């Protein structure tokens, strides 16, 4: 008997107040795959991964992660998943150090009220090193650049030593140095046998790592296979496309 797919989405429908964001989408991701979910803003690509994680309810269909449905998922399943949201949450009314934020990712592996063990501390250190922020551990997150904050969130996901990484626009609005740091962290993760699903506007330095791409258009899968070649001015040689801000309007294949 073979292991179930890491991610299994069957006929999923998500609607926001009558507007269909995800229209009968089916998708399976197997172990070791690095899947890029591509699409324009508002195409439903973020909704797809949020539905997979159970963060938005399904109107119809079914989602399984590691062979388990959302309702039955215990902490033993959740700890195998590392989630990297698009940006830091709203809870920043009080300063928090990089180390504190990354450590919170380790709690999935640490039982409630259990003190951190040597192994927990080592995992947090390793996650910080993997994204190149070991020397910033004691700094407040708010003092970091956007790219460094994004790397903090990736380290937080890596701290639980997940088998599946789910990343929502990890490179949007991220400086080139952080994109490289992120690509190498993802490369290490995949070499270690990890599976990754990432939503992206464009791949940049991540492209060599991605071995499958799905394009979402108006809530439907319109392409599933190798990464499609870029079009428009993105394709021109020497085109150094760095997005300083996530919400800058732009033209290109995915827009």
Q: Which is nearer to another protein, 8 or 213 (CB)?
A: 8
Q: Which is nearer to another protein, 140 or 211 (CB)?
A: 140
46 binds another protein (CB under 8 A): no
Q: Which is nearer to another protein, 158 or 215 (CB)?
A: 158
Pick the stretch among 76-84, 198-206, 211-219, 221-229 that binds another protein (CB under 8 A). 76-84
160 binds another protein (CB under 8 A): yes
Residue 75 structure tokens? 């902490």
Q: How many CA atoms lie within 13 A of 240 on its CB side?
A: 5
- Select the residue interacting with another protein from 42, 67, 95, 226 (CB under 8 A): 95
Pick the stretch among 36-44, 92-100, 181-189, 210-218 that binds another protein (CB under 8 A). 92-100
- Select the residue interacting with another protein from 9, 22, 108, 155 (CB under 8 A): 108
186 binds another protein (CB under 8 A): no
**H or E segment and range at residue 220:** strand 220-225
Query: Do residues 7 and 52 touch, judged by C-beta distance below 8 A?
Result: yes
- Using CA atoms, how far apart are residues 56 and 117, in angstroms rounded to an integer? 34
53 binds another protein (CB under 8 A): yes
181 binds another protein (CB under 8 A): no
What size, in residues, is the chain?
Answer: 255
Query: Do residues 91 and 85 touch, judged by C-beta distance below 8 A?
Result: no
Q: Which is nearer to another protein, 17 or 192 (CB)?
A: 17
Query: Do residues 101 and 154 touch, judged by C-beta distance below 8 A?
Result: no
Sign of CA dihedral 134, 123, 8, 72: negative
10 binds another protein (CB under 8 A): no
240 binds another protein (CB under 8 A): yes
Burial (CB < 10 A; 0-12, 13-18, 19+), residue 18, is exposed
Tell me the closest approach of the beta carbon of residue 180 to another protein, in angstroms. 13
- Using CA atoms, how far apart are residues 85 and 168, in angstroms rounded to an integer? 5
- Using CA atoms, how far apart are residues 250 and 255, in angstroms rounded to an integer? 7
Query: Do residues 246 and 224 touch, judged by C-beta distance below 8 A?
Result: no
Tokens 């330095």 belong to 205
- Select the residue interacting with another protein from 113, 192, 237, 247 (CB under 8 A): 113
21 binds another protein (CB under 8 A): no
Q: Measured between alpha carbons, how far is residue 70 from residues 122, 165, 201 in Å?
A: 30, 17, 27
- Select the residue interacting with another protein from 175, 180, 187, 207 (CB under 8 A): 175
**Residues forming the site for another protein (CB under 8 A):** 53-55, 73-75, 77-79, 81, 83, 85, 88-97, 99-101, 103-105, 107-108, 110, 112-113, 116, 138-140, 143, 145-147, 156, 160, 175-177, 240-242, 244
């Amino acid at each position: 008997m073979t292991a179930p797919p890491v991610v299994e989405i069957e006929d999923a429908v998500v609607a926001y107040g009558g507007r269909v964001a995800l229209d009968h989408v089916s998708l399976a991701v197997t172990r070791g795959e690095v899947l890029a979910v591509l699409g324009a803003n508002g195409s439903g690509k973020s909704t797809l991964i949020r539905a997979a994680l159970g963060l938005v309810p399904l109107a119809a269909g079914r989602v399984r992660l590691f062979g388990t449905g959302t309702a039955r998922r215990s902490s033993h399943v959740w700890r195998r998943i590392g989630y990297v949201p698009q940006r830091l949450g709203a809870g920043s009314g009080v300063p928090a150090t990089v180390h504190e934020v990354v450590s919170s990712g380790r709690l999935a592996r640490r039982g409630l009220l259990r003190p951190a063990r040597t192994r927990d501390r080592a995992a947090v250190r390793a996650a910080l090193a993997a994204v190149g922020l070991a020397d910033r551990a004691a700094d407040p997150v708010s003092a970091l650049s956007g790219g460094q904050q994004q790397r903090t969130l990736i380290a937080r996901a890596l701290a639980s030593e997940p088998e599946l990484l789910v990343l929502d626009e990890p490179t949007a609005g991220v400086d080139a140095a952080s994109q490289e740091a992120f690509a190498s962290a993802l490369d290490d993760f995949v070499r270690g046998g990890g599976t990754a699903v990432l939503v992206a506007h464009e791949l940049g330095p991540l492209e060599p790592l991605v071995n499958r791409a799905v394009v979402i258009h108006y809530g439907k899968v319109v392409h599933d296979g190798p990464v499609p070649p870029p079009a428009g001015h993105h394709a021109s040689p020497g085109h150094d496309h760095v997005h300083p801000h996530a919400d800058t309007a732009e033209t290109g294949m995915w827009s």
